[in-house]
Amino acid sequence: MTRDIQAILIDKQTISQRVLSLGQEIDIYYSKQGIKNIVAICVMNGAIVFFCDLVRSLKVDAEMEFVRVSSYGNSSKSSGQITISKDIETSIKDKHVLIVDDIVDSGNTLSQLSAIMQARQPASIKVCTFLNKPSRRQIDFNPDFNGFIVPDEFIVGYGLDYAGHYRQLPYLGILNPSVYNK
């Protein structure tokens, strides 16, 4: 498996430190707003590792919810249309929502998911992404909180995958193009 990794982009220690500081940024934001409770929604499967570490770092009380959305399937490129295969189970009406995803790439998935959640009338919606690839943006969408800005490479590890593989890597690696250009 490691022979499929072209290079390590961000190591485990750097990830851990950034997740902790990101949690502090989020706590400061909600504290300044006087918000003590949020609903943190994990976009599965890619964000699960990041989500767990992030939520454990928060001081604000976070009810955890999960949504499964896809726009990639087994491809390395987004289709542009999202499919929800698992929805949240809690009403978010009048609640403060934090959507947590692994990466914002084209912006399509998070834009569409945010609109779906906004229609459910929460008090507020904020988006936190572990990674941000602004060079790939197709629509004007920027997360409210972001871990790292990354280059236009196919990145795996720390929950991110290619066709369901590599999620368990404790670091972020650049996937060798020979793996997905078959």
Number of domains forming the structure of the chain: 1
Report the catalytic residues: 105
pLDDT for residue 160 is more than 80: yes
pTM as predicted: 0.92
Q: Is residue 181 part of a domain?
A: no
Dihedral sign (CA 80, 76, 154, 135): negative
Instruction: Phi first, then psi: give them for residue 59, nearest 5 degrees.
Output: -95, -30
Query: pLDDT (tens digit, 9 = 90+) per residue, 10-19?
Result: 999 999 999 9
Structural domain span for residue 55:
21-153
- Domain holding 43: CATH number? 3.40.50.2020
CA pair distance 107, 52, nearest whole angstrom: 23
pLDDT of residue 27: 98
In a domain, 173, yes or no: no
pLDDT digits (tens, 9 = 90+) for 53-93: 999 999 999 999 999 987 655 555 556 678 899 999 999 99
Average pLDDT over residues 91-111: 95
Classified as helix, coil or strand, 45 is coil
Percent of the chain with pLDDT over 90: 85
Q: Using CA atoms, how far apart are residues 162 and 66, in angstroms rounded to an integer?
A: 21
The answer to whether position 161 is within a domain reads no
Higher-scoring residue by pLDDT: 129, 137 = 129
- What confidence tens digit (pLDDT) does each residue in 19-61 have? 999 999 999 999 999 999 999 999 999 999 999 999 999 999 9
Kindly state whether residue 144 falls inside one of the protein's structural domains.
yes
